[in-house]
Amino acid sequence: MLLVLDVLRSDGPSSQAALARRTGLAPATVNNIIQALRAEGIADVQWINGREALVELVSKQGAIVSISVGPDSVHGSVFNFAKGVRSNGVRELKKEDRPGADPTAAVELIQSLAQRAGVAVTDLAGVSIAIQAPIDRQTGAVAPWAANRMPLWRSVSIAEAIKAEIDVPVVVDNDANLAALAEWTWGTGRGSDCFLYVSCSVGIGGGLIIDGKIHHGGNGMALEIGHIVVEQTGPVCFCGSRGCLSTLASERSILAALQGSESSKDSLAEVIGSAKEGDPACQRVLYEAGRNLGRALANMSKILAPSIVAVGGVLSDAGSLVFDSLHASIEENNVPAFCPSIKFKQALISDATLLGGVAAVMSELGQGVSELPAWMGQSVNR
């Protein structure tokens, strides 16, 4: 059964014949598994042109809460599969309480979201916690070198802290890893056996999906692409290195480059908007961000040889203003000679971190959703 579930997660809706080919199972065995999955409400069949039946994973029961914890806020959503409704919640932190929401704020938001869905917390199918910092898999806590950004989570075993208050399945991971999982499950990475994702917004993070699983590395800090050194004489990074990608292509670094100029902005979205309207300074900093991102991705590609590389986050909204210089860097570093079939794409899934949390919980429960329903991306803000 697990083989069939894995293929449906990877490939999306598939015919029983295709499932038999992909899994190597006998058609009769596949048919029995599909019938069992349908009986459990995990899978359904859709007819195409009244002739071909495609099997897809579905979920029509239960509710999952997915939240993201950062230095300035904790926000999240409850996905009520029984009603097909998503509701959002957020807790902004007062300036004196920053940086970093604490476990209490996370638990309170989970409880609030469950209440909105009309579900007792103990009846939730599961909870996902995305942390905007690297997680040490051995301790379950924020990595010591990054703990200054999330001091209230220092030395806290995150899953244990949440489970102590909420007795339901809990998944904890880095936000970029979960975003990568969402993009692999429903976006441009679907069907890829080796998928590299990088998110460029306030900070820069990455995730690697191999055979449908998040690759964490030995201690959980694989794919800290934001801390690849691109410019050895570049700005000092909070990690202690100099010239990390995060100091050259993140929102913070882009805004800092424009600070004091007539093109100074308050957000990366504003920089992108002005660049699209022809502001040469904004165009320049985006060009340089794309070039530096391309250098980092070129090195990663030569090491990992992924099938697909996707760029998400706010920076990807710049389109050709970033991707032209990114592709130029890829060519300059001769990546096509090493990986001729590799594809560099703009990510498709918005709000990928929270949706990736849902995918992670479903995977833990042996469930899934082959096609992303419209309601999961259409939230009710309250």
Mapped to the 3 state alphabet, what secondary structure does 3-52 carry? HHHHHHHHHCCECHHHHHHHHCCCHHHHHHHHHHHHHCCCEEEEEECCCE
Give the pLDDT of residue 95: 58
**Are the C-beta atoms of 110 and 76 separated by less than 8 Å?**
yes
Total domain count for the chain? 3
Asked if the structure places residue 114 within a domain, the reply is yes
| CATH number where 95 lies | 3.30.420.40
Instruction: Tell me the C-alpha distance between 296 and 317, whole Å.
Output: 19
Q: Which amino acid is at 199?
A: S
In a domain? residue 184: no
172 and 266, same structural domain? no
Task: Give a yes or no: residue 244 inside a domain.
Answer: yes
Spatial separation of the C-alpha atoms in residues 366 and 378, rounded to whole Å: 25
HSE of 84 in the Cβ direction (CA atoms, 13 Å)? 6
301 and 195 in a single domain? The answer is: yes
| CA distance readout (Å), 344 to 79, 139, 331, 339, 353 | 31, 34, 12, 11, 20
The reply to whether 107 and 219 lie within a common domain is no
CA distance 376 to 381: 13
| Same domain as 213, residue 166 | no
Q: Is residue 185 part of a domain?
A: no
Domain that holds residue 172: 63-178+351-381
> Is residue 73 included in any domain, yes or no?
yes
- At 17-72, the pLDDT tens digits run 999 999 899 999 999 999 988 888 888 888 776 666 888 888 877 899 999 998 88
**Confidence band for 268, pLDDT divided at 50, 70 and 90:** very high
Rounded to whole angstroms, how far apart are CA atoms 89 and 335? 43
For residues 212 and 308, membership in a common domain is answered with yes
Q: What percent of the chain has pLDDT over 90?
A: 69
Q: Tell whether 74 and 200 lie within a shared domain.
A: no
Query: Are 194 and 316 found together in one domain?
Result: yes
- Is the whole model's pTM more than 0.85, yes or no? yes
Q: Are residues 195 and 311 in the same domain?
A: yes
Considering the chain, what is the average pLDDT of its residues?
A: 91
Residue 195 lies in a domain: yes
Q: Looking at the structure, do residues 274 and 294 belong to the same domain, yes or no?
A: yes
The burial of 214, by beta-carbon neighbours within 10 Å (0-12 exposed, 13-18 middle, 19 or more buried), is given as buried
